[in-house]
Structure 1
Amino acid sequence: MEYTHIVQYYETDKMGITHHSNYIRWMEEARIDFLSQIGWDYAKLEEMGIISPVLNVTCDYKISTTFSDHVQISVKVKEFKGVKLHLAYEMKNGEGKTVCKATSSHAFLNREGRPIRMKDEQPELYKVLSDLAAE
């Protein structure tokens, strides 16, 4: 799945390059878009009583980006075993060069903060994510 982010002026620092913290925000944007693309909009998950907090984030910065760059972000399911979802991101600039490789890990919890057994409690979402992990 692909998502495009256009670097905003406020995302750059005094040197005119994108501040590193923004890449994590872009991952969040891309993840929310990814869920929508697979038919599981985050608002829908919340309505169902599912929350998905971030457990871990890694970023490996390759090339700087600057104001008005178009950054293509691909999102793939790296691993899914029912409770934790591990995503992989690759961000490329307009020239197709990789600017960042990243990962994020998320849990699936109910409103009380307890882990959800996705296979039993949300079998449709479990199947979609399992199938994407197998690709």
Structure 2
Amino acid sequence: MSLFSETKLRVRYAETDQMGIVYHSNYLIWFEVGRTELFRNLGLPYTVFEEQGLSLAVVEASCRYRQPAKYDDELVVYTRLEKFTSRIIKFSYQVMMEDILLTDGKTSHVFLNKEGRVADVRKYRVWKEVATKIPSLKI
């Protein structure tokens, strides 16, 4: 299994500002789409975590805007899993149009339990499944 995904999307009119350029916050939404697809491609849709009482909270996000995207552009969000521990997950992203890098960024997340406290995912059933999909983890 790859710890990398490619997600294709087309810029919708509603994602642009009055100048016809993608509004900056939409890139963070596209990052979320990318990491959701990465997990889904690993056979671990986000619902698997939710069913066990876990959620992922964004604790840090960065985004560097290099070139603008515009309405109807065809883009690819490249998402890479950079770090996965029992409490923290980190991702990096690149938003490309053909061979042009438009935006790159990173996000860091922590696992939370139902009470909203940081959780150790090793204490949940899903950990064994995660560890089989991500070879660098230990059961």
TM-score for both structures, normalised by structure 2: 0.86
What is the aligned counterpart of 2:122 among 109, 119, 124?
A: 119
**Deviation for aligned residue 1:128:** 3.2
1:110 and 2:120 matched = no
**Deviation for aligned residue 1:127:** 5.0
Q: Which residue of 2 aligns with 1:76?
A: 80
Contact 1:36 1:42 in 2 (8 A): yes
Q: Which residue of 1 aligns with 2:101?
A: 98
Q: Distance in 1 between matches of 2:27 and 2:51?
A: 28
Q: What residue identity is the alignment partner of 1:39?
A: G
Gaps in structure 1 of 5+ consecutive residues: none
Gaps in structure 2 of 5+ consecutive residues: none
Where is the strand percentage greater, Structure 1 or Structure 2?
A: 2
Contact 1:62 1:98 in 2 (8 A): yes
Change (3 A) 1:129 1:104: farther
Residue deviations 1:13-71, cap 9 Å, x none?
Answer: 11111111110111111111111111111122111111111111100111100011111
Contact 1:82 1:126 in 2 (8 A): no
Q: Distance in 1 between matches of 2:94 and 2:41?
A: 17
Contact 1:118 1:126 in 2 (8 A): no
What is the aligned counterpart of 1:131 among 131, 136, 139?
A: 136
Percent identity reads 29
Q: Distance in 2 between matches of 1:130 and 1:120?
A: 18
TM-score for both structures, normalised by structure 1: 0.88
